[in-house]
């Protein structure tokens, strides 16, 4: 079943296709395709062994040389640094709130730690890449209307705002004001003219790993500087909350505040302990929602490795502190319902997590509200644990990319501030932006109620009801903030 909003977006996309194509062709030099969420780390290696290891490690394993330790208690022992030093190693990063540490220690040292009675799991640290509740009417008054077409990139490049009903929400004066959103990613280029008005600070949790990144900049190593020197986190941030200021573009929730947790390097992905620390940090700052556009399948796969407890604890920690976690489904064209052949018991584990309702998993769509494609091949992952769908773009149709903000510090397109993207990484922030809009309309109602609102008001597509491609449907921002559903 295809809803009227999707049908309208399809008709408008067809009518404007020629104009968009001309504009996109004129700006082809600005193109940046993040089809691997966003760039496969240089030096990535494939590990021999089980099929599960081959699938995940081909995309995520970078030889960091670090070991992730998960303790039985949700704490890091006070004497742990001394224990590691006695083994000839050193502690890289600790996340005491959930009982996790990253250490640099040899194989013998890792084996010694694994044998300790207070340790739950020890393993090589991977680095994933950056791939019903009833609510009454809105309690917060709406502001003045915003016409997203007045932004320079509005008419030609922001089809995705219309597809999710953000244009109607903005026209009704809904802006997500009052919401604080965490971006767990490569950082945010906070001096960007479309992002500076909404930047709320942040931290750099990749800094302890910066010596491992051959393309590091001084900022890469500064724990107090979460500036994005790649592009990925800045693009995510712009989709969520680029300001309505007549410059460039506008985000789904243009008055939401953005908190940056940099957890990724320029070339070595996002070390697991850094990712966990970023989640905990954002939760401690009391964000209303956090966006994790690290490749969703990689994250899921690691959840059900020996490190499962660490991720499970981090998501539960965030949920307990009022934060909704929104994550990308990933771009490998995997059927997540049938991963048992790679990892026995994985489907049941996925179902368990899905039933917990602590994380929303987002799949990607093109302008026609069908699954996103790259050169005609569908890439978005699917499965019954998908919660919602949102725009992730298609390629090689340049006018069908998701356009957003970019970091001028990135190595591929230095100096570029706006460009086009593709991947479920960029579907996810549409849902996170919608969560900010719900907070702006209804107040700080908590992650469970925000998630329920988004799922209840989604535009049902595909099979009637929940399905493996769209989940509960295409996120509908206008309906989520109380505008008439149609």
* From 61, 168, 185, 194, the catalytic residue: 185
Distances (CA, A) of 288 to 55, 271, 306: 33, 24, 29
Q: Where are the beta strands (DSSP E) in 107-235?
A: 119-124, 180-185, 199-204
Instruction: Report how far residue 419's alpha carbon sits from residue 412's, in angstroms, rounded to the nearest whole number.
Output: 12
- Measured over the CA atoms of residue 165, residue 166, residue 171 and residue 177, the dihedral's sign is positive
Angle at alpha carbon of residue 272, lines to 422 and 276, rounded to 5°: 95
Instruction: Report how far residue 81's alpha carbon sits from residue 301's, in angstroms, rounded to the nearest whole number.
Output: 29
Instruction: Report how far residue 201's alpha carbon sits from residue 254's, in angstroms, rounded to the nearest whole number.
Output: 17
* From 232, 288, 387, 406, the catalytic residue: 232
- What residues have CB less than 8 Å from 149, skipping those under 6 apart? 155
Identify whether 185 is a catalytic site residue: yes
Distances (CA, A) of 407 to 210, 224, 229, 230, 415: 19, 18, 6, 6, 7
> In 149-169, which positions are buried (b, 16+ CB within 10 angstroms) versus exposed (e)?
eebebbebbbbbbbbbbbbbb
Instruction: Report how far residue 386's alpha carbon sits from residue 396's, in angstroms, rounded to the nearest whole number.
Output: 26
Alpha helices in 80-143 (DSSP H): 80-86, 107-114
Identify whether 232 is a catalytic site residue: yes
Other CB atoms closer than 10 Å to residue 444's CB: what's the count? Answer: 13
3-state secondary structure of 271: coil
Instruction: Report how far residue 335's alpha carbon sits from residue 473's, in angstroms, rounded to the nearest whole number.
Output: 18
Within 13 A of 254's CA, how many CA atoms are on the CB side? 28
Residue of 471, 399, 480, 387 whose CA lies nearest to 434? 480
3-state secondary structure of 278: helix
Other CB atoms closer than 10 Å to residue 371's CB: what's the count? Answer: 21
* From 192, 425, 460, 467, the catalytic residue: 425
Alpha helices in 97-230 (DSSP H): 107-114, 154-157, 159-163, 166-171
Identify whether 444 is a catalytic site residue: no
Known catalytic residues are 185, 232, 425
């Amino acid at each position: 079943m295809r809803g009227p909003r999707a049908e309208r977006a399809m008709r408008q996309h067809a009518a404007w296709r020629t104009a968009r194509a001309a504009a996109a062709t004129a700006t082809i030099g600005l193109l940046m395709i993040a089809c691997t969420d966003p760039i496969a780390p240089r030096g990535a290696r494939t590990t021999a062994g089980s099929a599960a290891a081959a699938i995940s490690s081909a995309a995520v394993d970078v030889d960091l040389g670090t070991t992730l330790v998960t303790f039985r208690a949700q704490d890091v022992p006070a004497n742990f640094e001394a224990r590691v030093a006695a083994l000839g190693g050193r502690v890289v990063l600790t996340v005491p709130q959930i009982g996790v540490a990253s250490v640099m220690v040899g194989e013998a040292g890792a084996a010694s730690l694994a044998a300790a009675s207070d340790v739950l799991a020890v393993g090589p640290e991977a680095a994933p890449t950056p791939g019903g509740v009833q609510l009454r009417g809105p309690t917060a008054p709406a502001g003045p209307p915003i016409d997203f077409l007045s932004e320079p990139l509005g008419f030609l490049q922001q089809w995705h705002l219309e597809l999710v009903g953000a244009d109607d929400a903005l026209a009704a004066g809904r802006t997500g004001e009052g919401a604080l959103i965490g971006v767990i990613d490569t950082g945010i280029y906070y001096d960007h003219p479309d992002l500076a008005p909404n930047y709320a600070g942040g931290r750099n949790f990749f800094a302890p790993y910066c010596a491992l990144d051959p393309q590091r900049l001084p900022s890469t190593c500064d724990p107090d500087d979460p500036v994005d020197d790649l592009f990925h986190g800045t693009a995510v941030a712009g989709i969520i909350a680029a300001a309505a200021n007549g410059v460039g573009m506008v985000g789904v929730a243009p008055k939401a505040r953005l908190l940056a947790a940099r957890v990724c390097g320029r070339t070595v992905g996002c070390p697991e302990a850094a990712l966990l620390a970023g989640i905990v940090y954002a939760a401690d700052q009391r964000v209303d929602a956090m966006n994790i556009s690290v490749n969703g399948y990689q994250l899921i796969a690691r959840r059900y490795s020996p490190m499962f407890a660490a991720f499970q604890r981090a998501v539960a920690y965030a949920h307990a502190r009022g934060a909704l976690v929104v994550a990308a489904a990933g771009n490998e064209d995997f059927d997540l319902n049938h991963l048992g052949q790679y990892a026995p018991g994985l489907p049941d584990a996925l179902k368990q997590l899905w039933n917990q309702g602590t994380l929303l998993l987002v799949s990607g769509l093109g302008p026609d509200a069908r699954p996103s494609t790259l050169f005609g091949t569908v890439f978005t992952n699917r499965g019954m644990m998908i919660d919602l769908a949102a725009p992730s773009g298609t390629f090689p149709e340049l006018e069908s990319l998701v356009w957003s903000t970019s970091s001028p510090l990135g190595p591929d397109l230095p100096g570029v501030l706006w460009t086009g993207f593709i991947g479920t990484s960029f579907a996810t922030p549409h849902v996170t932006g919608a969560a900010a809009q719900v907070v702006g309309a209804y107040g700080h109602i908590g992650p469970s109620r925000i998630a329920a609102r988004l799922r209840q008001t989604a535009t049902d597509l595909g099979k009637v009801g929940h399905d493996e491609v769209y989940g509960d449907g295409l996120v509908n921002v206008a309906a989520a903030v109380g505008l008439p559903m149609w």
